[in-house]
């Protein structure tokens, strides 16, 4: 209740006079105060929700218990339906969430009974779980395929220096070449090598590990850049060149890019004495349409 303790005097100036309808409009409180009004408007009362909550999520309709939405207190849904925030309703009185509702049913099934989505929907549901900040669902999804395998793959890619930058360079070069030639496809050379030092037939019997022991002065003699567009490597892991090629093709495909690749030889650049670079060179063919 608001108690009015005083009343302003009406000025003799007609322009300062206020009609009763104007006064009434002036004291109407907006349903959702703006940032500038927030400091002046009266605080809203906590919003009350029914035990059975009708929902409209991006045009898709759902019905669930209030306790289901509040199952985990640290989630966005629990905060939204805590009563501390105003949730708008549609014309039918359903509480509206402005989000694509395609996978919201999977979110509710987990909140209800811990059910997880089928494998083909795991990635999409994971994105929704991130949006709604449902930690227990995220943890469960990360422990099953394909997300579990993706964590292992990303651990391997973490060993690759500038992997993401090199991927962007492949796409940019292929796009520019296709546009310049007005062609459907573009070709570029990519070097993928695992060992830090180049190998020749003369070296093979002498080295059994990934990291070769040479003095600093000897190492500089072997430093060079293969004549390619992009070069990946070196790295130390069990995963080999073909594993990295699979990652490159997979990540390009996930971005809607069609790519074929084949080995077209080795660098074969003469370094010193009988040493030649033997890093494998691959031709990537990227088709744009």
Whether residue 265 sits in one domain with residue 237: yes
Are 113 and 173 contained in the same domain?
no
Answer yes or no: do 90 and 174 share one domain: no
Counted domains in the chain: 2
Separation between Cα atoms, residue 251 and residue 246, nearest integer Å:
9
Question: Which CATH number is 67's domain given?
Answer: 3.30.710.10
Do 252 and 170 belong together in one domain? Answer: yes
> Is residue 77 located within the same domain as residue 162?
no
User: What does the alpha-carbon distance between residue 114 and residue 206 come to, in Å, rounded to a whole number?
Assistant: 57
Range of the domain at 68: 52-144
Q: Is residue 86 part of a domain?
A: yes
The pLDDT of residue 171: 96
Q: Are residues 91 and 115 in the same domain?
A: yes
282 assigned to some structural domain: yes
User: How confident is the model at residue 220, as a pLDDT?
Assistant: 59
Task: Determine, yes or no, domain membership for 117.
Answer: yes
What pLDDT does residue 32 have? 45
Q: What is the pTM of this model?
A: 0.65
Q: Same structural domain for residues 116 and 94?
A: yes
Evaluate whether residue 107 is within a structural domain: yes
Whether 11 maps to a domain, the answer reads no
* Same domain for 131 and 86: yes
What are the E-state strand segments in the chain? 52-57, 60-65, 95-97, 185-192, 230-232, 258-266, 270-272, 275-276, 280-287
Long-range CB contact pairs, 67-76, < 8 A, 24+:
68/108, 68/111, 68/112, 69/111, 71/111, 72/111, 72/134, 72/135, 72/136, 74/133, 74/135, 75/132, 75/133, 75/134, 75/135, 76/131, 76/132, 76/133, 76/134
Asked if residue 268 is part of any domain, the answer here is yes
| 75 DSSP assignment | S
Q: Report the pLDDT value the prediction gives residue 117, as an integer from 0 to 100.
A: 97
Asked if residue 140 is part of any domain, the answer here is yes
What letter would DSSP give residue 38?
H
Residues 169, 121 share a domain: no
Q: What is the pLDDT along the chain (289 residues), one digit of tens a residue?
A: 344 444 444 444 444 444 444 444 444 444 444 444 444 444 455 789 999 999 999 999 999 999 999 999 999 999 999 999 899 999 999 999 999 999 999 999 999 999 999 999 999 999 999 999 999 999 999 999 999 999 999 999 998 889 999 999 999 999 999 999 999 999 999 999 987 655 555 454 444 444 455 555 555 555 677 899 999 988 888 899 999 999 999 999 999 999 999 999 988 877 767 677 888 999 999 999 9
Residue 125: predicted pLDDT: 97
Same domain, 162 and 279: yes
pLDDT at 237: 87
Q: What is the DSSP letter of 270?
A: E
Q: Has residue 93 been placed in a domain?
A: yes
Asked whether residue 190 falls in the same domain as residue 124, the answer is: no
User: Is residue 138 domain-shared with residue 243, that is, in the same domain?
Assistant: no
Closest CA to 188 of 227, 134, 139, 141: 227
């Amino acid at each position: 209740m608001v108690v009015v303790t005083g009343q302003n005097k009406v000025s003799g100036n007609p322009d300062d006079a206020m009609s009763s309808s104007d006064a009434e409009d002036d004291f109407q409180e907006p349903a959702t105060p703006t940032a500038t009004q927030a400091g002046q408007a009266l605080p809203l009362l906590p919003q009350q929700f029914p035990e059975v909550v009708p929902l409209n999520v991006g045009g898709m309709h759902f019905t669930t218990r209030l306790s289901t939405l509040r199952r985990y207190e640290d989630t966005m849904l629990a905060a939204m339906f805590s009563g501390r925030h105003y949730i708008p309703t549609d014309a039918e009185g359903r509480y509206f969430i402005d989000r694509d509702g395609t996978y919201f049913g999977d979110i509710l099934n987990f909140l209800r009974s811990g059910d997880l989505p089928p494998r083909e929907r795991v990635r999409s549901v994971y994105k929704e779980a991130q949006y709604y900040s449902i930690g227990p669902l995220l943890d469960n999804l990360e422990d099953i395929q394909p997300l579990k395998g993706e964590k292992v793959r990303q651990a391997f890619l973490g060993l690759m220096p500038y992997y993401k930058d090199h991927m962007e360079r492949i796409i940019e070069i292929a796009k520019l070449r296709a546009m310049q030639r007005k062609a459907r496809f573009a070709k570029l050379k990519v070097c993928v090598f695992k060992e830090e030092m180049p190998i020749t037939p003369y070296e093979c019997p002498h080295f059994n590990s990934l990291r070769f022991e040479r003095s600093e002065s000897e190492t500089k003699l072997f430093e060079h850049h293969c004549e390619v567009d992009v070069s990946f490597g070196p790295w130390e892991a069990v995963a080999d060149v073909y594993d990295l090629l699979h990652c490159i093709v997979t990540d390009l495909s996930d971005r809607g890019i069609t790519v074929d690749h084949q080995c077209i030889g080795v660098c074969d650049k003469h370094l010193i004495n009988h040493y030649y670079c033997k890093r494998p060179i691959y031709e990537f063919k990227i088709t744009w349409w």
